[in-house]
Amino acid sequence: MAREGSSTVVGVRRGLVSRVLVYGTLVVIAVTFLMPLVWMVATSLKTAPEASRSTFSLLPTPPSAAVSNAVKNYSDVWNDPTVRFPLYLRNTLIIASLSVIGMTLSSAIVAFGFARLEWRGKKALFAFVLATMMIPFPVVMGPMFLLFSQIGWIGSLKPLWVPAFFANAFNVFMLRQFFMGIPKELDEAARIDGCSSWGIFWRIIVPLSKPALAVVALFHFVFVWNDFLGPLIFLNHQDQFTLALGLQLYQSKAGQTPWNLLMAASTLVIAPVLVVFLLAQGALVKSVATTGIKG
């Protein structure tokens, strides 16, 4: 009995030690990833001389000046006459909204066809769709530019959101896996009641797939919001710039941009992404936990 008790205590101690090591490692990794973000926000709360110092400090001197410094820095960035961030925010919101709607809707329709309908050549075509994920954007960048140039879209926002209405291989794959986890008995019951394939998609699949659709919308929103190469290629007028191009323009405009203002601009650019991610993280976790793994 004594030996069994001592072995139990040793097992509990080992489990506690391993748990402490795991959580400690996770905390170190989290702090490592958060430090650049914390440094960026902290620098946006300082004056230009304080931001240029070689010594590291999170808060300005005195710390009570952080609020007044923040008001001045963010106001200077937002009201800059050369780099018009309100206009770039509007352009980015237009592109992101249309792209998210198009990508979520088109990917769901294509994934439904691959997951719930039976037709000849489905597996071969699905393999071909997955193969497109191996093609990097720089490979198709030139042909896309020539195509959009021929139809007169260069210099407009259309090349940045119209392609989103033709689905994406990764999103199709993810939604297909989720749709395959939904019992097909629901489809059969709906067909007995006279429901068409389109009705099954809208009335059964879509309501049951809201977490997965939210993840697709979140991923594509983040991609569009951070996209720099696409707007750089297809836009040729400053009034059409997105926030990514605006931030680059703000960094490279005439004269040296103070670090505190540059970090304030960077914070303004990434703040919407952080807010959207925090709002959608519940759907993200739920989607990951419920996504099917059938092939």
264 burial (CB, 10 Å; 0-12 / 13-18 / 19+) is buried
Q: Quick one: pLDDT at residue 6?
A: 62
User: CB neighbours (10 Å) of residue 247?
Assistant: 22
The predicted structure's pLDDT at residue 289: 60
Q: How does DSSP classify residue 57? A: -
Q: Which residues contact 196 (CB under 8 A, 6 or more apart)?
A: none
Angle, nearest 10°, between helix axes 210-226 and 169-180? 170
Query: Among residues 202, 207, 206, 205, which one has the least CA distance to residue 186?
Result: 205
Q: Is the whole-model pTM more than 0.75?
A: yes
DSSP conformation class of 258: P
Please, which residues have CB within 8 angstroms of residue 82's CB and are 6 or more apart in sequence? Answer: 249, 253
How far apart, in whole angstroms, are the C-alpha atoms of residue 280 and residue 272?
Answer: 12
CB 48 within 8 A of CB 260: yes
Residue 294: predicted pLDDT: 43
Q: Which two tokens stand for residue 262?
A: 């540059």
Domain 85-290 class?
mainly alpha
Domain with CATH 1.10.3720.10 in the chain: 85-290
**pLDDT score recorded for residue 79:** 92
Non-local CB neighbours of 195 within 8 Å, separated by 6+ positions: 203
* Token code pair at residue 107: 């990917």
Q: Where does residue 167 fall: left (phi above 0), alpha (psi -120 to 50 degrees), or beta otherwise?
A: left
pLDDT score at 293:
43
Mean pLDDT, each 10-residue run in order, the chain (295 residues):
58 76 90 89 87 74 81 92 92 96 96 92 92 90 93 94 94 93 89 89 91 91 93 92 92 76 92 85 66 45
CB 249 within 8 A of CB 83: yes
CA distance 225 to 219: 10
